[in-house]
Every structure is written in C-alpha cells, then in structure tokens.
C-alpha cells in the first residue's frame, strides 16, 4: 500500500474492483455483443434447458421483470425462443436457438469465475476473514441491506442495453 491514510487505501482498492467490473462489462460487449446479464441468462438457459422466467430469476438472482426484459432483447436478436410447455400450455419456457448456442460458445470467461477459483484456493480462515472484512465495509457504507446477486460482474441492465 501507499503512505496514504488506510481509509484512502481501502477506498482506492474498492474503486479498483468497481473499475475491473466496468472494464469486464465493456470487453464483453465488444467481444460478443452481449451484456453480462444477457450472458448470465443465456448460460442459465443452456444449463437448465427449457426454463421459465421464474426459474431463471431464481438461478441468477435477478428480478423476474429484469429477466423478462433481457429475454425480450435476446429473442429480438434471435438468440432465444419462447415455447409453450406441451404438458401445460399456460407455461412458457425460454430455449436457446442454434444461433444463441453459437454466440454463447464464443463468450469469454466472466470475472467472477476467476475470482471463485482463486478464492476457493484460500484456506477457510482466510475466506472467513475476507468475508468478515467485506461485510464490515458494506455495513460502514450503509450497503448491508442492498439486494445484490452473488456475481461479481453482473449489473442491472439499463434500458439501452437490455
């Protein structure tokens, strides 16, 4: 660290994290034309198969309204299709199209995936200490009650992107 007061060092490190997630989002958009939330929805559909908005929402910790907006955008770009359940016609599932599968295969790794791999290499005491410190920082910033997905680089899509 530097000769700055520790609080400045902490805020600088937080800013680096925020900047890293912003840069990841820009790289993702440039490399494959998708936003991080779109990638997360497409990966979940790929993993779960034909799936409802409610299941997708629970899987990626985003509201059903946000997931619906993302699906609308992906459908307009022919990356997903909506199909009615054969057993219950009231249920509508999302499914990747062949084009969506091709695009998804070219998506670079997400920032949180590298984080998880490195975090899991730490011993339990180090993991617990890191979590306690971050929880305390969130509390000090009055952010402990903010609802957030457990993914480092996911953001609420803006109206222009999704």
What's the pLDDT at 24? 85
Task: Give 18's pLDDT tier (boundaries 50, 70, 90).
Answer: confident
Residue-by-residue DSSP string for 118-148: HHHHS-HHHHHHHHHHHHHHHHHTT-TT---
At 122 the pLDDT is 96
In a domain, 1, yes or no: no
Query: Taking the model in full, what pTM does it have?
Result: 0.72
CATH of the domain at 40: 1.10.10.10
Instruction: Name the residue among 44, 70, 43 with its Cα closest to residue 55.
Output: 44
Are 104 and 51 within one domain?
Answer: yes
Give the pLDDT confidence score for residue 44 in this predicted structure: 94
Which residue is associated with the tokens 């011993």? 123
Structure tokens at 60: 């990626």
- Provide the pLDDT for residue 85: 84
Tens digits of residue pLDDT in 75-123 = 999 999 999 988 888 899 999 999 999 999 988 888 878 888 999 999 9
The reply to whether 161 falls in a domain is: no
pLDDT at 54 over 80: yes
Assess whether 134 and 64 both reside in one domain: no
SS3 (DSSP) at 84:
strand
Q: Decide if 162 is inside a domain.
A: no
- Residue of 73, 64, 86 whose CA lies nearest to 42: 73
Task: Please name every residue paired with 80 in a beta bridge, in sequence order, or none if there are none.
Answer: 96
Q: Is the pLDDT of residue 155 over 60?
A: no
| 102 and 46 both lie in a single domain | yes
Mean pLDDT for the chain overall: 86
Write down the pLDDT at residue 159: 44
List the domain range (segments joined by +) for residue 85.
25-108
Q: Would you place residue 66 in the very low, low, confident or very high pLDDT band (cuts 50, 70, 90)? A: very high
Mean pLDDT confidence for 144-158: 58
pLDDT of residue 156: 42
Q: What is the pLDDT of residue 61?
A: 85
How many domains does one find in the chain? 2
């Amino acid at each position: 660290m530097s000769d700055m007061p520790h609080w400045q060092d902490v805020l600088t490190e937080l800013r680096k994290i925020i900047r890293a997630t912003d840069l990841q989002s820009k790289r993702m958009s440039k490399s494959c034309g998708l936003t991080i939330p779109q990638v997360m929805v497409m990966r979940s559909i790929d993993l779960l198969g034909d799936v409802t908005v409610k299941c997708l929402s629970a899987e990626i910790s985003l509201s059903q309204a946000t997931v619906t907006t993302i699906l609308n955008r992906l459908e307009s770009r022919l990356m997903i299709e909506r199909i009615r359940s054969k057993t219950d016609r009231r249920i509508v599932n999302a499914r990747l199209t062949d084009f969506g599968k091709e695009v998804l295969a070219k998506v670079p790794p997400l920032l949180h995936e590298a984080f998880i791999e490195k975090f899991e290499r730490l011993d339990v005491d180090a993991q617990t200490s890191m979590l306690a410190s971050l929880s305390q920082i969130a509390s000090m910033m009055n952010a402990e009650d903010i609802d957030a997905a457990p993914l480092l680089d996911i953001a609420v899509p803006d109206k222009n992107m999704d």
